[in-house]
Structure 1
Amino acid sequence: MVLLRLDSLALSRSRFALSPFAETLSTMIVLSRPCTEPWLTAWHARHHAAFRARLDADPFTRGLVMLCGSTKYLPDHLVLPPSGGMGTTLESELGEVARVPDTAVRNSLVQSVAHSWENHTLDWLTGHAHAARTAELVREVWQEHVAPDWPSRRALLERDVTYRAGLLAAHGWPRALHQMSRRSAWVGSDTIRFSDRPGPDRMVGPDGMLFVPVSGPRGAWLCEAPGRPHALVYPARGAGGQAEGERRDPARSERPVARLIGAGRAAILRELERPATTSELAALLGQSLGTVGGHLAVLREAELLVSTRVGRRVVYQRTALGDLLADAGPGSGSSESKPT
């Protein structure tokens, strides 16, 4: 198994970050495969044909994407740790990727092929400027398949960070990292099991680690670069619950609780099944900050939710009474698919 062994100062300096590049890479992997998650069906159907056409039109694109979707070792130039924290921009990441030398790209691709569970060759790796071509591919996929719903994706990712930051403040890192991925787990007082597959352990120095959520429904990977903190990319809680252009079932707003407190407040109460901030709720529901803030004030006065400060954020969560009201009426306990 692969273990991440943490320096004595690593935990106190570990933090969360976002990576538009990792989000796009995750999207590419999802679109390269048949859709198996019910909540992603509509989004996948809208984007899959165009993405497959892109693969069919360019051997380099097809070779790289199909390899990434079937290997235990992602190419090194695709797994550089983000350097901008929660404000990391795609352009900054693309600039770093584009500067990777061709020799380094080829060497890491050879490793990826060796660790693949499918048969691959590198016949598609022709010409030069491999990293720059990769960066341009990621930019195009971002613009076509990710950017249109990035605000809602970002809200989901920030919500996961908010949730885990709350656990961190209350219970420490072991609880905050619980079930980040199917294979990761806390082992002892200073070690994270990253994978149950064979591989060398990593030493995490005093700069700590970065934890980077993506909205892909599965998969986790480790980002490494000399002189930079390791970054663990993991699927966010609730990933895939509502992709671009999807709307909630209007029938749900007709439940008795919506008629009792109003559809807007009922929607917020349902969303607070997981704690969230005002801005996260506004992005998820497509409402203004003022509208959401007004609804939150009424719900808090009615003792249906409480607020807690986590760092610079104010996080709202339902009270026991709020839980009862949100689950009341027809539609509760229905058989619709829900992300876990």
Structure 2
Amino acid sequence: MSVSIDIAGLPAERIVFETSPLAELCLVLHALSEPGHHPRLAGWTTATNAALRPDLADRLREADFLWRNTFSDLFMPYAGLRGGDGRAGTTLAGELDMLDGLDDEQFVATALEFASLAAYDKGAPSPLTDAAARSRALERAAARGPRQLGFAGRLLKDPVAVRGWVRRLLEDCDEAFFAEVWQRVRPALAADTRHKSELLRRRGLREALTAVSPALHLEDGGTRIRADKLAEGEATATDPAVGPGLSFVPSHFGWPHLMILHRPGWRPVVHYPVGSPELPPPASADALKRRLEALAHPLRIQLCRNVARAPYTTGELADLLGVTAPEVSRHLAVLRRADLITTRRRGRYVHYQLDVGTVARLSSDFLEGILR
């Protein structure tokens, strides 16, 4: 399974490495909402969450499906902006201005993309104009909680007001913590883009992709980039509707996520992590055996992929994977016995989520297990 980007006919100068403060803010917010995904940041996430003003913390929870359930493409507005050059901005304020430049349908469909993930790379009807899409978005938001349902309802009723609310929220995040974060991480990210730009110029795209991630491959005679991911998707870097371009954006907060923006009508973006953490001590041999056996089924692998980024209910997983809810429940039980997923009840909904720390240790657990 993979996500591929068609780059046939793409001019070399339209492949760029660049930093993006708004994209990095997305990953910072994700780390704050899902600290288990980022064990090396545990001290920072704990301290930052504790220091948040109560009103800001409440607003972040209200809109958290923009960075928790998905990495919303709203954080890379330059990729979808009509009439733009497809380049990221140099400042957060500049990229927020680009976000303001998206039309209402782009904004709403992208903000509520968690409700139509199965059709992400094919396009789906706008929840602003399609009753079924609207109903599905509200149903999916309800499963996230009352705050998220309220946010989705207001967005569909008055997108202009909510767009202003979102901008103020991100500006308040900048004032509260992100300005300091960006000042600290930007030099290293800028150095990474300079290094990979030079590698691209001197050694070619294949070498640059290898430096970005071993999951990226250049294929079909250099006309297609393939990313090894547990998902299927296709994109083109030469869509005439938005113009040619392919961006590579590094992230200090990104590990373990390698994201590929491949929304129709948007320029593709590869958002890649710089650096990775050290892993904790290994589990017992019995626990390792249970976990490897639990992962030896293709449907359970797909379940892990879906609950890796955010919590999902049994019904949502059944809908995404096209199987029955009882079948999903049986496989979730196996994963729970192996301690690979956690559960949380919210009202009448039970949410399942991958224990990222446990899964991240599997490779080192396996190696130490067979050597000791």
Bin the TM-score by the shorter chain: 0.5 to 0.7
Match of 1:65 in 2: 64
1:48 partnered with 2:49: yes
1:77 partnered with 2:79: no
Q: CA deviation at 1:33?
A: 1.2
Match of 1:270 in 2: none
Q: CA deviation at 1:195?
A: 5.1
The answer on whether the counterparts of 1:215 and 1:239 sit within 8 Å (CA) in structure 2 is no
Match of 1:193 in 2: 226
- Provide Cα deviations, 1:86-140, integer angstroms capped at 9, x if missing partner: 7622112111213444444333344313439994363322263222222221221
Match of 1:161 in 2: 193
RMSD: 3.4
- Provide Cα deviations, 1:30-54, integer angstroms capped at 9, x if missing partner: 1111245454233222212234945
Match of 2:235 in 1: 202
What one-letter code is carried by the residue in structure 1 that aligns with 2:91?
T
Percent identity (aligned): 23
Of the three residues 234, 253, 264, the one matched with 1:216 is 253
Q: CA deviation at 1:191?
A: 1.1
Work out the CA distance in 2 between the residues paired with 1:240 and 1:152: 18
Q: CA deviation at 1:203?
A: 1.5
1:93 partnered with 2:95: yes
Q: CA 1:183–1:99 in 2, change beyond 3 Å: closer, same or farther? A: same
Unaligned runs of 5+ in 1: 242-340
What one-letter code is carried by the residue in structure 2 that aligns with 1:234?
Y
Work out the CA distance in 2 between the residues paired with 1:215 and 1:91: 20
- What secondary structure sits across from 1:3 in the alignment? strand
Q: CA 1:169–1:36 in 2, change beyond 3 Å: closer, same or farther? A: same
Match of 1:123 in 2: 150
Match of 2:284 in 1: none
TM-score, with normalisation over the residues of structure 2? 0.54
Work out the CA distance in 1 between the residues paired with 2:194 and 2:103: 37
Q: CA 1:46–1:110 in 2, change beyond 3 Å: closer, same or farther? A: closer
Work out the CA distance in 1 between the residues paired with 2:32 and 2:114: 19
Match of 1:34 in 2: 35
Q: CA 1:147–1:182 in 2, change beyond 3 Å: closer, same or farther? A: farther
- What secondary structure sits across from 1:178 in the alignment? helix
- Provide Cα deviations, 1:159-190, integer angstroms capped at 9, x if missing partner: 21132123223321111122535743333422
The answer on whether the counterparts of 2:33 and 2:68 sit within 8 Å (CA) in structure 1 is yes
Q: CA deviation at 1:200?
A: 3.8
Work out the CA distance in 1 between the residues paired with 2:264 and 2:109: 16
Work out the CA distance in 2 between the residues paired with 1:228 and 1:106: 15
Q: CA 1:66–1:50 in 2, change beyond 3 Å: closer, same or farther? A: farther
Match of 1:300 in 2: none
Match of 2:269 in 1: 231
The answer on whether the counterparts of 1:212 and 1:234 sit within 8 Å (CA) in structure 2 is yes
The answer on whether the counterparts of 2:6 and 2:224 sit within 8 Å (CA) in structure 1 is yes
Work out the CA distance in 2 between the residues paired with 1:16 and 1:144: 28
The answer on whether the counterparts of 1:31 and 1:51 sit within 8 Å (CA) in structure 2 is no
- What secondary structure sits across from 1:234 in the alignment? strand
- Provide Cα deviations, 1:240-289, integer angstroms capped at 9, x if missing partner: 89xxxxxxxxxxxxxxxxxxxxxxxxxxxxxxxxxxxxxxxxxxxxxxxx
- Provide Cα deviations, 1:318-338, integer angstroms capped at 9, x if missing partner: xxxxxxxxxxxxxxxxxxxxx
Unaligned runs of 5+ in 2: 80-84, 119-139, 279-372
Give matches, 1:1-340, under 5 Å: 1-35=2-36, 37-51=38-52, 53-54=54-55, 56-58=57-59, 61-71=60-70, 74-81=71-78, 85=87, 88-115=90-117, 119-120=143-144, 122-125=149-152, 126=154, 128=158, 129-178=161-210, 180-181=212-213, 183-188=215-220, 189-194=222-227, 196-205=229-238, 207-218=244-255, 219-223=257-261, 229-235=267-273, 237-238=274-275
Q: CA 1:78–1:87 in 2, change beyond 3 Å: closer, same or farther? A: closer
Q: Which moved more, 1:154-163 or 1:166-175?
A: 166-175
Work out the CA distance in 1 between the residues paired with 2:103 and 2:162: 8
Q: CA deviation at 1:77?
A: 2.9
Work out the CA distance in 2 between the residues paired with 1:131 and 1:225: 20
The answer on whether the counterparts of 1:77 and 1:131 sit within 8 Å (CA) in structure 2 is no
- What secondary structure sits across from 1:139 in the alignment? helix
